[in-house]
């Protein structure tokens, strides 16, 4: 894992009269911060001189986001419309900070398909975008802590060539094995793929059928080599390797054989149970929780929560949903600390980050102050490494 230092830090802060959410309890107390770290936690209603009176608001750890499509949405706000990358990165960073996310693993696809081969083709972009991200971070232009999450699409033409462009110094924290071959995993129901891709790319029925056939041919020709190469490259980066859209116990067994301990969005109860049997943490999407089901007709995250098969939540494609989903899980489980762990400590641990995700002395001062107005959770302010960012 790359070095985790990020930006300047403040001197001293004290958050008092707050409902402090720790790993396993909620209490009225004070949290003191110095040089970007939590240095003291006290259960008390007192408000020391110079302290910030949180007026009974919740104080939780900064949210840790392992898989978000939000950056891709900023760089291509409409199909075929490319936005200047630096402006997109800064806007994405500010948006995440405003939703309480203080650590993000920015998802970037690696593995492309030449556009001349199919109307569903797409060009490479990850290396250039990652370089711009790292440059902005080095310049102190970003509010929160950024790592890279390379989404390795095995059903593609150029995966291994694109992975070879990255190295151990690129802050690659996660590499996920993605296989969007039609007819399996997320797109077992090909009509859902058609609904998603054909509309977005303006494909006719014939063009969609050609696209499906092309993808299946790519998987047959390159899939096994791409999968093996991705496992090796993740080890070279020192990154956590994740599975994606496991559907069957057999697929989970393959993931476990690769040494995977993080499963992104398993699509069935069978797969989620198999993950827990193999000591693989299950991550589901916050939009799935908020909507009460999957937009692809896969398993409901709330069903997995009821079965104690849900460990981590990702905002996926709606950053603000991450905090909302935690409070919804708290109402399901009747356990706020457990729900908050799903969006803070558990993803941090899964990604190999031991310095954040919990309000505890010695940890990073990544903190979010939240006020309840009726049933609405309003983010009052956000601190990343002791520095106010929203």
> What is the DSSP secondary-structure string of 218-237?
HHHHHHHHHHHHHHHHHHHH
Q: What is the pTM of this model?
A: 0.90
Claim to verify: residue 39 and residue 73 sit in the same structural domain? no
Claim to verify: residue 345 and residue 367 sit in the same structural domain? no
Claim to verify: residue 76 and residue 221 sit in the same structural domain? yes
The answer to whether 4 and 145 have CB atoms below 8 angstroms apart is yes
d(CA 377, CA 59): 12
Q: What is the pLDDT of residue 89?
A: 98
Q: Which residues of the chain have pLDDT under 70?
A: 1-11, 115-122, 180-203, 209-211, 217, 221
Specify the residue for token string 């499963």: 263
Q: Is 265 exposed, middle or buried, given 0-12, 13-18 or 19+ CB atoms closer than 10 A?
A: buried
The range of the structural domain enclosing residue 91 comes to 63-355
Claim to verify: residue 273 and residue 385 sit in the same structural domain? no
d(CA 31, CA 42): 7
CA distances (Å), 224 to each of 154, 219, 227, in order? Answer: 8, 8, 5
Q: What is the dihedral of CA 252, 153, 79, 174, to 10 degrees?
A: 70
Instruction: Fill in the DSSP letter of residue 23.
Output: S
The answer to whether 26 and 370 have CB atoms below 8 angstroms apart is no
Claim to verify: residue 18 and residue 105 sit in the same structural domain? no
Q: What is the pLDDT of residue 3?
A: 47
Q: What is the pLDDT of residue 154?
A: 85
Claim to verify: residue 178 and residue 30 sit in the same structural domain? no
CATH (domain of 153) = 3.20.20.140
Q: What is the pLDDT of residue 36?
A: 96
Claim to verify: residue 184 and residue 249 sit in the same structural domain? yes
d(CA 211, CA 309): 35
Claim to verify: residue 232 and residue 333 sit in the same structural domain? yes
Claim to verify: residue 30 and residue 109 sit in the same structural domain? no
d(CA 151, CA 319): 18
Specify the residue for token string 């690129």: 170
Claim to verify: residue 217 and residue 308 sit in the same structural domain? yes
CA distances (Å), 19 to each of 27, 32, 146, in order? Answer: 5, 14, 28
Q: What is the pLDDT of residue 115?
A: 61
Claim to verify: residue 3 and residue 72 sit in the same structural domain? no
Which H/E stretch holds residue 67?
strand 63-68
Claim to verify: residue 147 and residue 294 sit in the same structural domain? yes
Instruction: Fill in the DSSP letter of residue 8.
Output: -
Number of domains in the chain: 2
Q: What is the pLDDT of residue 117?
A: 54
CATH (domain of 24) = 2.30.40.10
């Amino acid at each position: 894992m790359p070095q985790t230092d990020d930006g300047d830090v403040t001197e001293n802060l004290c958050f008092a009269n707050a409902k402090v959410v720790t790993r396993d309890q909620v209490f009225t107390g004070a949290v003191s911060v110095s040089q970007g770290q939590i240095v003291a936690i006290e259960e008390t209603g007192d408000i020391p001189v110079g302290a910030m009176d949180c007026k009974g608001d919740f104080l939780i750890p900064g949210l840790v986001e392992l898989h978000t499509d939000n950056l891709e949405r900023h760089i291509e706000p409409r199909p075929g419309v490319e936005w200047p990358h630096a402006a997109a990165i800064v806007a994405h960073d500010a948006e995440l900070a405003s939703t309480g996310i203080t650590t993000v693993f920015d998802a970037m696809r690696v593995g492309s398909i030449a556009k001349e081969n199919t109307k569903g083709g797409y060009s490479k972009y990850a290396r250039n975008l990652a370089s711009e991200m790292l440059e902005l971070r080095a310049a102190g232009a970003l509010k929160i802590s950024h790592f890279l999450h390379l989404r390795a699409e095995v059903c593609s033409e150029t995966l291994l060539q694109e992975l070879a462009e990255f190295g151990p110094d690129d802050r690659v924290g996660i590499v996920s094995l993605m296989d969007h071959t039609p007819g399996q995993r997320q797109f077992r129901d090909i009509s859902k793929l058609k609904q998603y891709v054909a509309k977005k790319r303006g494909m006719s029925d014939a063009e969609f059928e050609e696209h499906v056939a092309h993808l299946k041919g790519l998987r047959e020709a390159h899939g096994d080599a791409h999968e093996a190469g991705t496992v090796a490259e993740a080890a070279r980066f020192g990154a956590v390797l994740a599975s994606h859209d496991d559907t069957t116990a057999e697929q989970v067994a393959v993931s476990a054989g690769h040494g995977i301990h993080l499963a992104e969005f398993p699509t069935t109860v069978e797969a989620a149970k198999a993950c827990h049997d193999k000591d693989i943490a299950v991550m589901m999407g916050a939009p799935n929780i908020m909507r009460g089901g999957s937009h692809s007709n896969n398993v409901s995250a709330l069903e997995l929560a009821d079965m104690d098969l849900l460990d981590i939540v990702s905002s996926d494609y709606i950053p603000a949903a991450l905090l909302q989903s935690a409070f919804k899980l708290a109402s399901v489980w009747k356990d706020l600390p457990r729900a908050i762990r799903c969006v803070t400590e558990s993803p941090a641990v899964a990604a190999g980050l031991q310095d954040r995700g919990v309000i505890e002395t010695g940890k990073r001062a990544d903190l979010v102050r939240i006020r309840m107005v009726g049933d609405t959770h309003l983010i009052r302010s956000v601190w990343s490494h002791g520095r106010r960012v929203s």
